[in-house]
Amino acid sequence: MEFVFFITSGLFLGWSLGANDAANIFGTAVGTRMVRFRTAALIGSVFVILGAMMQGSGTTRTLSQLGSIDTLGGAFTAALCSAIVVTVMTWKKLPVSTGQAIVGAIIGWSFFTSTPVDFSVLTKIVGSWVTGPILGAFFSALLYLLMRRIIRRTSIHVIKLDIYIRLALIITGAFGAYSLGANNIANVMGVFVNSISLTVHFGKFTFSTIQLLFFLGGISIALGIATYSKKVMETVGNGVLSLTPETAIVVVLSQALVLFLFSSTSLYNFLSHLGLPPIPLVPVSSTQVVVGALIGIGFVRGVQEIRFEMLGQIALGWLLTPVLSGFLTFLTLFFMQNVFDVAVSGHERINSGTDLTPKIQNIIHLPANTDRLLTIAAIGIFLLSALVLLLHYRRNRLKMAANEKKLAEQIQYTDYQKALSEIELNNIRMENTSMAEHLEEKRKELVTFALNIGEMKQFLEVLSDSIEAADQEQNLQRKHELLHAELVRIRQKMSFTHEVEHIYKQAEQIHSDFVSRLSLRFPDLTEHERRLMVLLRNGFSSKEISPILNISPKSVEINRYRLRKKLNLRKDENLTQFINAI
Amino acid sequence: MFARANKSIELINKFLNCVDQSLLLFKDGVKNYLYRDQGNFASNLRSLANSEMESDVLRREIENTLYTQSLMPQLRGDIMRLLEEMDNLIDQAKKNLFQFDVEMPNIPAELIPDMIKLTQISTSAAESVIPAAKSYFSEPANVSEKIHRVYFFEKETDLLADVIRRKIFREMPELKLSEKFHLRYFTLHIENISDIAEKVADLLTIMAIKRTV
């Protein structure tokens, strides 16, 4: 029962970690509604527990090397103080890391109990606070470049891309949750590992202390994800993660990779086996790695995109969190021991009035060799140089891109001019076609006119010969007959049948669509009525129509009246307007 | 999931083709009106009305698919706005052609080539929006270079419309003032198409920036 009570502070810390850090993994996915919260919470919870159970031991071992808290009271106090610092700083919107809080708490406990702090372990942990974000930036820059190239090269349709992004968000989220569980379970349960020893039998299975603690810690993180992270995710993380889904994949994957590297025992053993410097197994702040990853993307997109105040926030977190947590732990341990009479250390009871200065000298053992420090410094310088080179390369590329853009604009301008010229050319062609048709019409008219002149001339010659013959005729009866015959011929010619036919043909040609519509709408019309309508459509008056139809104007009026009757027109309706509207 | 995506892609492509077809019909319709080819003009009018109806149906279907199957929650608002703006192009084209049919403006023969050119340039602006929109869906980085054409043709349309209006009011004393007003409105109607295309281009530019990785 005592165990259950003391472990609650660790569970609270786990809950707080789950509630806050899950947003780093699924914040964008849920905030942008690409993944439903229920799916995210389920995947996150399962993979956090799996990560904690399968890969959480490495970081826990490192943390217990820093300061082996050997009583439940001490572990309870350290976890509680860390949880309070994390909660208060989150509430005050200050950058915070659970790992830094717990490290501060362990150092506070070490100071209070005069237990020596292993300086080399502390260096390793503090070094990881710097290298974590730098590695995050490095991975994210690489992954971002890779993803951008893939998206641009493949030209995937946005709808299909949406599906791929959803799947990628789920897969990277699962990996992120697994790495979070593996790396950060030490923050939650690391302080309890050396303070209790338990074995639980469950049927055929037997659980050791670490397995049990990791399982409970994993569940507390999962509970944090399930109960409180929705709010944080919907406001998109801690304000840091207002990203597009594409960028979120890169950020989450970078974060997961960094957390995985800093917690993988297999990788540690493998690198040691090869004789290479292994990556230390230490808990890293996922939020700070995310900030590092965002800065990495900023480097790729252009320096102007980097929010440099984020770097300041990280530095503030590095200082503020461990100091506050250590100070609070020191004070709380004093109260726990002297007021509540709780044992906070396996050593003899500590006198609070003792002078701490000589103890501090005993606590911190400076490292025997400085090789490791030099290695870390060399890596730092190498990464910095790589960044400078990357920036230089990027600037050159931007310059080249600007030149290419200018050239492309010039080519485009030429294209536009070409397009405009084509339009003008088309217009001219169209006009030419229209004019050619017009010319052809005129030519036909001219030919008809010339033929008419010829025909007329021939007719008049014949007429002149006939009249001359009649004039020379002596027989009056015969003379009269001949003159009468010529008169009939002249009258026949006056009907202008050919010309009228020609006029009809031309009028029908101009209004070919009208003629076809007329036949469809009024199939009962006679040829004569149809022709009258075509002439009216052409704007001829009754007076003008009468010589064409070879009838009197009065007859034209009668024909119009009959036409109105046939078309069922009312008295107030105008025949010409009606015809024009067809 | 991929079958639904393919269906949505097909619908969007159909919609864009519908916009393209409507613009061609409009261009052809104006030409037929100006050359007094009543039969073909009437047929253009009918086809454009059908095309407008079809585009409305497609747009609603796309909206339904995107929302009910929660595709692209981040982008669908923008995409629906884009499709609505493009639908406005068809609406405007149809409205213009119907105005030609109802009001039967008397266009003097010397203005016919200018009016045809104005229609062609204005529809060219709108036509240039289609490849840009297609590019937005699969190659957002290329949108900006395709959109330049829209701005260029829009500017040219404005210039030409201005020239035509000046010609109408300053060089054609034989026209009545009412006829001049009537003609001015028709240049404005045609010009409207390129203005809408410019709006679509503005929207596309912002959307492409949002999507650029």
pLDDT in tens, A443-465: 888 887 888 888 888 888 988 99
Could you tell me if residue A199 is inside a domain?
Answer: yes
Could you tell me which chain A residue has the CA closest to the CA of B113? Answer: A427
Domain containing residue A522: CATH number: 3.40.50.2300
Secondary element (H or E) of residue A384: helix A371-472
Does A404 reside within a domain?
no
Say yes or no: A188 and A224 in one domain.
yes
Residues A531, A446: one domain? no
| A131 in the same domain as A251 | yes
For residue B91, the distance in angstroms to the closest alpha carbon of chain A comes to: 24
Domain final residue pick, A346, A371, A386: A346
Q: What percent of chain A has pLDDT over 90?
A: 17
**A109 and A251 within one domain:** yes
- Same-domain check for residues A427 and A553: no
Judged by a CB distance cut-off of 8 A, whether residue B103 touches chain A is no
Q: Is residue A240 part of a domain?
A: yes
Same domain? For A90 and A142 the reply is: yes
Give, as one character, the DSSP assignment of residue A122. H
B2 closest CB neighbour out of A163, A408, A427: A163
CA A246 to chain B, closest CA, distance in angstroms equals: 7
Coil/strand/helix, residue A154: helix
What are the phi and psi torsion angles at A365 (to 5°)? -95, 115
Closest-CA residue of chain A to B37: A513
Do A11 and A133 have their domain in common?
yes
Residue A226 lies in a domain: yes
The answer to the question of residue A394 being in a domain is no
**Contact between residue A46 and residue A181 where contact means Cβ atoms under 8 Å apart:** no
Report if residue A427 sits inside a domain.
yes
Whether the Cβ atoms of residue A95 and residue A316 lie closer than 8 Å to each other:
yes
Q: What is the mean pLDDT of residues A547-570?
A: 85
Residue A513 pLDDT exceeds 90 = no
What's the confidence (pLDDT) of residue A319? 81
Confidence at residue A347, expressed as pLDDT on a 0 to 100 scale: 57
Both A534 and A440 in one domain: the answer is: no
Q: In A, which residues are within 8 Å of B79 by CB distance?
A: 158
- Same domain membership, residue A325 and residue A190: yes
Domain final residue, candidates A325, A346, A367: A346
Q: Which is it for strands A364-365 and A205-207: parallel, antiparallel or unpaired? A: unpaired
Least confident of A230-244, A289-303, A492-506: A230-244
ipTM reported for the complex, 2 dp: 0.84
Minimum distance, in Å, between the CA of residue B40 and any CA atom of chain A: 9
pLDDT of A237 over the 50 cut = no
Considering the domain boundaries, does residue A352 fall inside one?
Answer: no
Task: Considering only the beta carbons, identify the residue of B35, B73, B120 that sits closest to A32.
Answer: B73
Nearest chain A residue (CA) to B134: A157
Task: Summarize the confidence of residues A301-329 as an average pLDDT.
Answer: 76
Residues with Cβ within 8 Å of residue A49, at least 6 apart in sequence: A181, A215, A218, A219, A221, A222
In chain B, residues with a C-beta closer than 8 Å to the C-beta of A408 are: 145
CA dist A118 and A362 (Å) reads: 11
Query: Does a structural domain hold residue A402?
Result: no
- Domain total of chain A: 3
Would the pLDDT of B41 be above 60? yes
Residues A445 and A502 in one domain: no
3 state DSSP class of A200? strand
Binned at pLDDT 50, 70 and 90, residue A366 comes out as very low
Mean pLDDT of chain A: 82
Residues with Cβ within 8 Å of residue A372, at least 6 apart in sequence: A120, A123, A277
B68 close contact with A: CB closer than 8 A? no
What is the extent of the structural domain holding A503? 495-581
The model's pTM is 0.67
Q: Do A513 and B38 touch (CB under 8 A)?
A: yes
Are A111 and A149 members of one domain?
A: yes
The phi-psi region of residue A33 (left if phi > 0; otherwise alpha if psi is between -120 and 50; otherwise beta) is: left
Q: Do A160 and B156 touch (CB under 8 A)?
A: no
Is A56 a residue whose pLDDT tops 60?
Answer: yes
Give residue A361's pLDDT.
43
Residue ending a domain, choose from A346, A361, A377: A346
pLDDT on residue B51:
94
How many whole angstroms separate alpha carbon A538 and alpha carbon B61?
49
Residues A233 and A331 reside in one and the same domain:
yes
Which of A49, A291, A40 has the alpha carbon at shortest distance from A188? A49
User: Which residues of B fall within a CB distance of 8 Å from A29?
Assistant: none
CB contact under 8 A, A163 and B1: yes
Query: What structural domains does chain B harbor?
Result: 2-211 (1.20.58.220)
Q: In this complex, do B73 and A152 lie within 8 Å of one another by their Cβ atoms?
A: no
